[in-house]
Structures are given as structure tokens and as C-alpha cells.
Amino acid sequence: MAHSASPASSTGGVRMVRVADDRDGQRLDNFLLGQLKGAPKSLIYKLVRSGQVRVNGGRAKADTRLQGGDEVRIPPVRLGEAADKGTPARGLLEAMEASIVFEDARLLAISKPSGVASHGGSGISFGAIETLRALRPNQSLELVHRLDRDTSGLLVIAKKRSALAELQALMREDGGITKRYLALLVGRMPDGVMSVDAPLHIGLRQGGERHVQVNAAGKPSLSHFKVLERRGGHSYCEVRIETGRTHQIRVHAKHIGHPVAGDDKYGDVAVNARLREQIGLKRMFLHAASLEFALDGGKAPYVLNAPLATELVETLDRL
């Protein structure tokens, strides 16, 4: 969810940037790399060490974990042309072009394939946003939110700063945006809607990998699971989330004893192996299906949809 923060104000070249909720838990150095495109890491660390970067008015370290709502002071930096990282592979460019499901003057929406990151970083040069920018070099494109790399489905990109700011404000509001996912959960879920109200906390494993767990010290998180049908002893569900925490659906599903099928981080290893061998499910069965919201203070309603990925439709048929 590139810039997932919106500039609150700027004075004399200094920018005050408010951290969006979806950046919660991100390290300060990584956040700055996203804000100062093309800046070498050595410069980022120098700015932090010298105290020119401030978080909520105070000095901070490069490994400080940011929280949604924090205000970061970013000093003016003169950057040469960003180093040329080359261009995305032709196959990725073609896949992104083909994945566009909606576009108007303000927004672009794609149905992101599983396996494509929302943005580059951590050894990935080109995510969805970098590839779209390569396709549209003269347009200003900013991610409104993010999807996990292995999750397919609806990813919204703002073409105008005003739309980005309004959407990020809606994301912070209760009920500002209705988010609907489709998932195959392991085992037989009970009928009806099961609501999971369990706080989530981002922890780190060795190697810096993020691992989320239900923890009283975490942030409030609410998901609603509803069985649409049962297939092969498993539950095909619609999931609506009222908060957008990292790995929320995956961790809540594990918490209720019905992990997402194919999830290699929070799922059931034995069941995943069986599904891979028997019906060819080679990825996590989690798909961002739709977003509903209204811009212009409620005057311009949007209902955006991304059809279920072909390989997931085939998985359901085989079950």
C-alpha cells in the first residue's frame, strides 16, 4: 500500500510524511528508501545518524519500527538520476498490461497474479508498481495498498495525488472501504458467519522475516469468514476484513484452526502437500476479489472486482 504515506505538509523543502497503517512495523531505513527514490543506503543512514530525519519530533535509529500515524520529518535531498535498474522482463510487462481490470482518470486497478510482489525490494527489482510505471513512464502512479506476494487479486493504484490521499483516509476510517476476499480454508468450517476479533502483533524471526501472531499486545483486527460451499472436505469462503493488518486473513484463519490452503507460512504442511499432489494446488488459495468505496466525500461510488484467478477456479473444479 511505493509511497504508502501521504505528505501532510512541507516547509522549505522539508517534508512531514504521515505513516499509513499498512506501513505499520516497517523499519525507518526501508521507509526512507521508498520515500527517497534512488537514494543510496549510505545516504539514508547518514541522514538518520545526523538527526536530520525525525520521527514524531524526536531522533530515531535506522532500525526503528514505525507505526501507522507516526509523522516522519524528511529533509530536502538532491538526488541524481536514479540508477538504472534496467527494465522489467517482457513477460512481466505483458502480464501487467493484461491484468488491468479498471481504469478512469483517477484510478487504475489490476488483478495481480500470485507470485508478483506489490512493489520491489528484498531482492525483487520489479514488483507490480515498478512494472506499471515502466508501462506508463509519463504517468504518476502510486500504490494505494499492498497485497502479499502470494495473494492474487485486486490491487488499486492512484493516478492522482488527491485520489491517493482520499483513499488512504478512507482506509483509516471504520467502514471506509469494504474489502472482500475469497479463500479455501482447510477443513470443515461451521455454517454461517464466523467473526474473528483477535489483535495481531508483528514479530521478527531470524533473518528479519516478518511473522505475525495473535497477541494481546497487538493491534485490533477483525475478520468475518462465511462458507460459500464445501469442496473435498474443505471450505470455500468469502472473507470480509474490517482492518487491514499484515497477513490478517492468514493468521486469523490459522487462529480458528482452519488455515488458508497452500499457505506455506501459517498453513498445514501435510494438507498443503496433499493438495499439491492430488489436485495441483501450487500456491496459496487467497484472492482479493473486490473493493467498494466512494470518493468525492461519498458522491462517486466505486465497486471494483477481480475475477477469481484461473488456477484457483481449476482447483475448485478438481476438488
The DSSP code for 170 is H
Containing H/E element for 314?
A: helix 310-318
Angle of helix 90-98 versus helix 128-135 axis, rounded to 10: 90
As to burial, measured by CB atoms within 10 angstroms (0-12 exposed, 13-18 middle, 19+ buried), residue 190 is: exposed
All residues at 6 or more sequence positions from 94 whose CB lies less than 8 Å from its CB, including other chains: none
Is 263 catalytic? The answer is no
Q: What's the grid cell of residue 174?
A: 471504520
Beta-carbon contacts of residue 11 (< 8 Å; ≥ 6 apart): none
Q: Given CA atoms 158, 62, 173, 213 in this order, what sign does their dihedral have? A: positive
Q: Cβ distance 32 to 44 under 8 Å? A: yes
> Distance between CA 283 and CA 56 in Å, rounded?
40
Which residue is catalytic, options 22, 70, 148, 268?
Answer: 148
Nearest to 301 by CA among 112, 161, 107, 100: 107
48 membership: H or E segment, kind and range: helix 41-49
Cite the active site residues.
148
